[in-house]
Each structure stands twice: as structure tokens, then as C-alpha cells.
Amino acid sequence: MPSIIETHGLRKVYSNRKGEDVVAIESLDLTVGQPGTIHGFLGPNGSGKTTSIRCLLGLIRPTSGSATLFGADSTTAFHEVAHRVGAIVENPKLFPNFTAQRNLTLLADLAGVPKTEVARVMEVVGLTGRENDTFEAYSLGMKQRLAIAAALLKKPELLVLDEPANGLDPAGIAEMRVLIRSIAAEGTSVLVSSHQLAEIEQMCDEVTIIDRGKLVTTGLVDEVRRHAGPDSVVVSIADTNAAIQALATSGIGARPRPTPGELTVDVDATETAAVTKALADQGLYLTGLRSERATLENAFLNLTGNTAPPPPGSPAPTGDTPGPGLDGPPTAPPMARPPGANAPPAPAPNHEESA
């Protein structure tokens, strides 16, 4: 049985306005094989996620390599499997002056889907009762959900969502996460791209990380997270310099964090007693202590050799801050391209209508 998604050596080169070649994807190998899984497709803005998705959906032709969906070549035979694939590329695109009901009815008609399906998918995405509002009157979150409803009309086996959390507020992101989880629970495989690693980390079973068009790593979330290194402990204390020296005396490594009065201590969460003892022995008393779980973002930064600039005055994301559960608020900023990464992101191809 063929994989749901498979790419081999996928490469896409564009010409920019100056006629120079810009490599958007370089030899990308990607496999999504298990039905009902959520596969995160991660990378900074401009890393080639949307280009890869467009290749998968037959919207753009790869320069070389292959992309298949359910065994069908995306470039030449996507039409054979299009009824098995629901997709939203970049923004939700429906007719602004049509009502939600009319938009979906039109697409149902196009796909030969019974009109009764419209009510079902509206219920799945929680928009029942808002059928008669026009698309342009919807909030961004509602537009995203309606676009997902449209994609679900075909009862797809694979749902491809390109940055579905883009522009959503924390509540909207949480709703989206729950919705995607519930869709996957019904047996639909989901490929979801994002540059917000913390969001993906909370909902995906597998992830693929790409950077500047190249595959960085792929695997189960826990496997990939191992690349982030061990968990650590964050200590709040008045005199951080004295604390670093005191811990060093006990053979414990520590370094200051961007937030004044905080240290990252290189011990596992189970060894916090040693930290408190080492500090207390030197007459230093901590005012706070929490464990910090290794994140996908740390893994990404480690794997790419980059260092992320933390937002001024804000702590790095931690694993035990309140609420990173399914409904919790986001805990990490979007993946940033660090200052050291001097390669510019691949520019969007100049094929869109400019007028």
C-alpha cells in the first residue's frame, strides 16, 4: 500500500525578478504513512513549506524529484486522488460575498457531494447557526474553520493545512488545535504546516522540520525533541553571579537567562534538591524554581546550529508554565530566523497577479 504522502529528492528552483535562480526546496524527502496521524511540517517563514505543499497538490511543478499522494504523481495524476485530499493553502479562499452556506453548497455541487453534507461539516467546525453570514463578515478564525469545513466536504483521507493558526488569537489557536485533533481522531491524516513550533508540538504525532528548503529532521515528536538536549531547571535568585559561582563549586553548570534574576541550571528536574542545597550552603536562597522541558524549538535551533534571539525582557518558553495543554495559550514565540542566518528566505515566486 503506497504512503499517503511521499516525496523523493523534491527540488524547486524559481527565477526571481532579476532572472537569478532561487532554490525554494532542495532534495526534500518526506513520508507520511500512517492514517489518522497529525504530521507537523515545520520551518521558519520562507523555509519552503508552502512551496512543498503546492508541489504536493500539483499547483507547481517541481524542478526535479517526485511527489506522490496515495501513490499518484502530484504533477501528472493529482486528479486521480483529488477526491481523497482536502487542502487549504495559505489563507482561506472562499467567495467573500457569498454566505457560508452558499459557498459550501457550490463546492459540494462541484464535487458531486450531497448537499446534506454541508450541514454536517458546518457542525464539525462549530459554525452551525452562522450559515447565512457572508464569508467576508466572518472573523479570521471563523474563515479558517469554514475553509476546513469546505475541505471536509469531500470526506478526505488526507487534510493538508498550510499555516492554519496564522493570524489567530490564542483562543482561536486553541480551538483550531482541538478541531484538528478531532478530525484526526476520525481517521483523517492531517499534514499541518506552521512556523509556530510550540503550537505544533502540542498537537502533532510526527514532525518534519525544514530550513532553507532542506530537510532538518523528521520523526515522532518525542524523537525529534531529543535533539533539544536534556531538560533543565530555571532558578530565580537575587544575586545570579554569586549563585553561578556557588553552583560551580558543587560541579553544577549554570548560566544567566535574558530575564534579570534568572538562571538556567543544567540539571534534570529530579535533581533540584542538589541545586537548593548548593545554594543554601553558600547562604544564597532562591525565590523560585521550575523545570524547563526541551522543546521542538530548542531541537530546531540545535540541529540548525542557530541561536534564537529571545524577545527582549521575556523568558524562554518553559515546559511547566501554566496551560500548554490542548486548550492552553501558546507558550513560545513563532520560530524566528536568527540574525546569524544570513541566507534570505526564498522569495515568493513572481507568478501572482500584481494588479
Residues that bind other proteins (CB under 8 A): 51, 54, 57-61, 78-79, 82, 85-91, 93-95, 97-98, 106-107, 109-112, 348-349, 351-355
- Compute the least distance from the CB of residue 92 to other proteins, in Å: 9
Q: Alpha carbon 182 to chain centroid distance?
A: 17
Q: How many CA atoms lie within 13 A of 248 on its CB side?
A: 9
| Axis crossing angle, helix 74-81 with helix 49-56, rounded to the nearest 10 | 60
Nearer to other proteins, 58 or 172 (CB): 58
Query: Among residues 153, 156, 154, which one has the least CA distance to residue 188?
Result: 156
- Compute the least distance from the CB of residue 59 to other proteins, in Å: 5
- Compute the least distance from the CB of residue 255 to other proteins, in Å: 44
| Axis crossing angle, helix 100-111 with helix 116-124, rounded to the nearest 10 | 120
Q: How many CA atoms lie within 13 A of 200 on its CB side?
A: 37
Q: How far is CA 220 from CA 203, 209, 225, 298, in A?
A: 12, 11, 9, 16
Helices (H), 112-169: 116-124, 140-152
Nearer to other proteins, 102 or 120 (CB): 102
Nearer to other proteins, 180 or 237 (CB): 180
Nearer to other proteins, 90 or 271 (CB): 90
* Cell digits of residue 219: 520523526
Nearer to other proteins, 104 or 296 (CB): 104
Nearer to other proteins, 14 or 300 (CB): 14
- Compute the least distance from the CB of residue 330 to other proteins, in Å: 26
- Compute the least distance from the CB of residue 71 to other proteins, in Å: 16
- Compute the least distance from the CB of residue 86 to other proteins, in Å: 8
